[in-house]
Amino acid sequence: MMLTDQQLQELKKQLHVMKEEAEKEHHNHDGYVNEDEDQGNSVGELSNVNSHPGDLGTEKFEREKAYTLSEHAEEQLDEINAALERMEKGTYGYSEHSGKPIPFERLQAMPTARYLVEEQEESS
């Protein structure tokens, strides 16, 4: 079943909200990673005394976490932009595997879906 114009508008709005959130998330974590690279560390030492080894481990963990979250947000942005592009082309809501319509309920739950549930499960 084809999506109605109203359903498409609802999904487009949802994708734009998701895009805003992912951009903020990417910017927040990317900024932390970049700031960390610029300063050498993100704690900002007040003296020339070496940090406690535990602090260095925590710093490394925080840097890696920020990097991972930034990468995840970037991947989300790519998926969202691809979904918006499919909307423009008129291919949104159809499986990239079989060409069959993706149910509206699935798209509501996951607006970036490119496959039917059973196709997604097969490829996993």
Please give the pLDDT value at position 50: 58
What single-letter DSSP state applies at residue 100? P
pLDDT, tens only, 77-117: 999 999 999 999 999 999 999 999 999 999 999 999 999 99
Length of the chain: 124
Please give the pLDDT value at position 111: 98
For tokens 């996951």, the residue is 110
What single-letter DSSP state applies at residue 44? -
5-40+54-123 maps to CATH 1.20.120.910: yes
More confident residue, 19 or 62: 19
Instruction: Quote the radius of gyration of the chain (alpha carbons, Å).
Output: 20
Tally Cβ neighbours within 10 Å of residue 35. 13
- What the block records as the tokens of 48 is 């020339």
Domain extent listing, the chain? 5-40+54-123
Please tell me whether the overall predicted TM-score, pTM, comes out greater than 0.75 for this model: no
Longest dimension (CA), the chain: 67
d(CA 45, CA 57): 15
